[in-house]
Amino acid sequence: HDRSAPREALDVELRLGTLRRLEGGEAGQGTMLAAGPWSFDFRLEQGDEPRAVRLPDTEVPARDAPAVTLTNLEVSGVGCRFRWYNPDGDVTPKIHSLALVLEDGSVNVSLGSASAVGGGYWESKCLWAIPVEIDEAVALLVNEELLPIERG
C-alpha cells in the first residue's frame, strides 16, 4: 500500500483492567498496583513526516578502527539515519555513541541499530530518547566528534 497516501482519522477506545506487578506467577496473579477498569477515548490522525536536516558527508573517529565516513546523514526531531562503508565485514560497531545536542546545552541520547545494505555499506538508524523540535538542535555528537547542524 502507498504509505504516503493520506489516511482517515481513527477514533479509538482503550480499555485497561487492573494493573498488577507479576511476581513470577501466573497471569492475573501478583501485587495489585491500581484497580481498574479505565477507559480512554482519543483520535489518531496522520501527522506530517518529521522535518529533517541533511548534513554533509563527514569523517568521524571510529572505535578500534580507522575513521569512518558518514554519508546520507539526516537528522530529525525523532532520530537520525546515515550510511557508512565497512569493507572488512567486521560487525563490531564503529559508531559507539550518538547524541543530539540542543541549544540549551542538554544532550539527548539515542538508541539505534545498523544493518548491512550490500557492497560493504551499512545503514544505521536511531531514535532519540526524547523527541524534540529539530530547530532546537545545534549539533550531532558522534563518537565524541561534534558535528554542527547548520540551516540554510
Give exposure, 53-78, as e/b (b: 16+ Cβ within 10 Å). bebeebebebeeeeebebeebebbbe
Q: Is the pLDDT of residue 124 over 80?
A: yes
Confidence at residue 31, expressed as pLDDT on a 0 to 100 scale: 85
**Across the strands, what pairs with 142?**
98, 145
- What pLDDT was estimated at residue 11? 93
pLDDT of residue 90: 66
Helix (H), strand (E), coil (C) string for 47-90 = CCCCCEEEECCEEEEECCEEEEEEEEEEEECCEEEEEEECCCCC
- Residue 5: the pLDDT is 66
Q: How do residues 82-96 score in pLDDT, each as one tens digit?
A: 998 877 766 566 777
> Can you give the pTM of this predicted structure?
0.67
Q: How far, in whole angstroms, is CA 14 from its chain's centroid?
A: 26
pLDDT value for 78 = 92
Question: Does 127 score more than 80 pLDDT?
Answer: yes
Note the pLDDT tens digit of each residue in 32-85.
888 889 999 999 887 777 789 999 999 988 877 778 889 999 999 999 999 988
115-139: average pLDDT? 90
